[in-house]
Structure 1
Amino acid sequence: MTIVRDMALDIPTPDGVADAYLAHPDDGEPHPGVLLYMDAFGLRPSLKAMARRLAEHGYTVLVPNVFYRSGRAPVIELPDHIDPSQRPEIFAQLTPLLQALTPEPAMRDAGAYLAHLAASPLVTDGPVGTTGYCLGGMLGVRTAAAFPDRIAAAAAFHAGRLATDAEDSPHRLVDRITAELYFGHADHDSSMPADQIKKLEQALDAAGVRYRSELYEGAHHGYTQADTAAYDAEADERHWRDLLELFARTL
Structure 2
Amino acid sequence: MIIQKEIVDLATPTGLMRTYVHRPEGDKAYPVILLYSEIFQQTGPIERAARLMAGHGYAVLVPEIFHELNPLGTVLAYDQAGSDKGNSDKMGKSIESYDTDNQAMITWLADQPWCNGQIGAMGFCIGGHLAFRAALQPQIKATACFYPTDLHTRVIPNQAGQHSMDRLADISGELLMFWGKQDPHIPAAGRALVYQQLSAADINFSWHEVNGQHAFMRDEGHRYDAQLAMLGYQSALGLFGRVLA
Runs of 5+ consecutive residues of structure 2 not aligned to the other structure: none
Tell me the equivalent position of 1:10: 9
CA apart distance, 1:45: 2.4
CA contact (8 A) 2:22 2:50 kept: yes
Per-residue deviation at 1:16? 1.0
Q: Mark the CA change 1:239 to 1:193 in structure 2 (over 3 Å): closer, same or farther.
A: same
Matched, 1:182 2:171: no
Q: Which residue of 2 aligns with 1:128?
A: 119
1:89-126 C-alpha deviation (Å, 9 max, x unpaired): 2322222211122311111111101112222111102x
Does the Cα contact within 8 Å between 1:44 and 1:74 map onto a contact in 2?
no
- The offset of 1:191, in angstroms, is 2.0
Q: Could you list the runs of 5+ residues in structure 1 that have no partner in the other structure?
A: none
| TM-score normalized with structure 2 length | 0.92
Match of 2:72 in 1: 72
Matched, 1:158 2:147: yes
Describe the SS at the equivalent of 1:121.
coil
Match of 1:209? 203
SS of the aligned residue for 2:85 comes to helix
**Aligned pairs, how many?**
238
Identity of aligned residues (%): 27
SS in structure 2 at match of 1:220: coil
Distance 1:101 1:213 in 2: 29
Q: Is the 8 A contact 1:12 1:18 kept in 2?
A: yes
Residue 161 of structure 1 contacts residue 169 of structure 1 at CA under 8 Å; is this kept in 2?
no
What RMSD over aligned residues (CA atoms) do the two structures have, in Å?
1.5
User: How far off is 1:75 after superposition?
Assistant: 4.2
Q: Which residue of 1 aligns with 2:84?
A: 92
Contact in 1 for aligned 2:27/2:113 (Cα 8 Å):
no
Which one-letter code corresponds to 1:153 in the other structure? Answer: A
Contact in 2 for aligned 1:158/1:223 (Cα 8 Å): no
Structure 1 segments of 4+ aligned residues over 6 angstroms from their partners: none
